[in-house]
Amino acid sequence: MQGSTSSSLEKSDLLQDDEHMLSIIHVLMQRTEGTSRERLIFKFKEKSGEKLERLIQLHEFYIEHFWNYKHQINESMDDDSSETKEQRNERVYLHCIKSGLINIMSIDSILCFLIATNDQNVS
């Protein structure tokens, strides 16, 4: 029993680490300029795009995690007549954020930034 708790805590820690890492990269993409931005972009191009590949793997993981979680939530949510449509939508949205939607959005923003800057000469 303790092994499964430890395993789930480790997974939770890894998911939090991913979220922190993605948040940092996302902010760096938005706020750096000049040489610092070029260095950041180069990090994704070096070693045959190893970091870019990892970013895409994270995207696939979080998409799958998100849809599985959303499917579970939709099945478990009962039709509460006292709840308005707006309240239900808000509750669903909060569950989506909890299931990794924020990570998907960060990854998508990072990928869009990398695609948009792909034409620039970065050495």
Number of Cα atoms under 13 Å in the Cβ half of residue 53:
5
Stronger pLDDT, 2 or 71, i.e. the higher one: 71
pLDDT (average), residues 73-92: 73
The pLDDT assigned to 3 comes to 46
The pLDDT assigned to 55 comes to 93
Q: What is the pTM of this model?
A: 0.73
Residue partners of 16: CB distance under 8 A and separation at least 6: none
The pLDDT assigned to 11 comes to 67
Domain ranges of the chain: 2-116
Confidence of residue 58 (pLDDT cuts 50, 70, 90): very high
